[in-house]
Structure 1
Amino acid sequence: MEEIIRFQKYMLLIRRTVGWTAEEFGEKIGVTRQTINNLEKNNRDKFKLNKTQYIAMRSVLDAEMSKYPDETEMLRLILDVFIDNPENYPDEDRERLLNKANMLTPSILAGTTSRKDVSKELIAVAAAVGFAAALAPLSIGLAAGSTVTAGWLAKTIFRKD
């Protein structure tokens, strides 16, 4: 399934965006730090993210976005742009957002800045690039989050590939 492949490709960025170490992320879904690290290496011949792991990871991320909506706007944006709906965004704009996200998110893990501050900065970059479609659900709040959850989960469960 394409979403699972894309998720694995951007897993390190996603984890950094939330501010979790590999050990913390692993604990949240019931796997080891080494499993997270192996999946993040993107060696799909050797370590392939499976559907169960994907559902567990997305569920934990959804819970985090519901609990801390002001701190996780950028996570919702990253999931939409790179995992759920990349076809809706020009490659050049996605690349610009990816470069900025890769520069900003390590500071969350390092503890030199907050998720909320990085989120605000990345959302500003997204607005400047013209990601209005991706930003619209962010302003709606938690109701949009539950709709987004239902969307990715339904695709994952009912897809046959």
Structure 2
Amino acid sequence: MENKKNERQLQINRLQQNLSSIRKIAGWSAETLGNKIGVTKQTISNLENKKTPMTFTQYIAIRAILDAEIETNKDNEALPKVISILLDSVDSIDDNEYKEVQKSVETVAATASGGVASSALLGLLGAISPLAVSLIGTATLVNWKKLLK
């Protein structure tokens, strides 16, 4: 039971740490994401700036919206790959590698907010972080929905 609680909290923390980058790669403003999950853009800002901790309910809402975006927007090839690396990888990245990839994704996200195409974002991610590209195919995925039980 304690192990499941720790895994749940780790997943929540990872999403909160990477929310800004993931949101930008999805092509959303803070207001857009807020509208999708029924909160204000200020709430999204507070989560991204870690002024308030992310709740499990917020985690579930955001992950569900991200899953829906991945299903419906096949043109955004970068989003599922970034989510796979930053949120769903288990035991395949040590802390130093994770931080390296995280910084690379932040750079890619800054570019994404400028309106760059998804395929170009993947190329940029590969150029900045060959480690990220190698992890895309090898990451052991966590089914985040298992955390609901």
The TM-score range, normalised by the shorter chain, is 0.7 to 0.9
1:89 aligns with one of 86, 90, 93: 93
Structure 1 stretches lacking a partner, 5+ long? 138-147
SS in 2 for 1:84: coil
Instruction: Tell me what 1:143 maps to.
Output: none
The match for 1:144 is none
User: Which among 40, 44, 48 is matched to residue 48 of structure 2?
Assistant: 40
1:92-143 CA distance string (max 9 Å, x none)? 43333222221121222222x12332134325655x3275453268xxxxxx
Between 60-69 and 21-30, report the one with greater CA deviation: 60-69
The percentage of counterpart residues that share the same residue type is 28
Q: For the Cα contact (< 8 Å) 2:37–2:61, is it kept in 1?
A: yes
Given the alignment, which residue of 20, 26, 32 partners 2:34? 26
**Paired position in structure 1 for 2:148:** 157
1:62-81 paired onto structure 2 within 5 Å: 62-72=67-77, 74-81=78-85
Deviation at 1:20, TM superposition (A): 0.7
Residues 135 and 22 (structure 1), Cα distance of their counterparts in 2 relative to 1, 3 Å cut: same
* Structure 2 spans left out of the alignment, 5+ residues: 1-8
- Give the TM-score taking structure 1 as reference length: 0.73
| CA shift in 2, pair 1:90/1:131, >3 Å | farther
The residue aligned with 1:118 is 121
Cα RMSD between the aligned structures?
A: 2.6
CA contact (8 A) 1:19 1:115 kept: no
Q: SS in structure 2 opposite 1:110?
A: coil
From 120, 131, 144, the equivalent of 1:129 is 131
Q: Which residue of 2 aligns with 1:140?
A: none
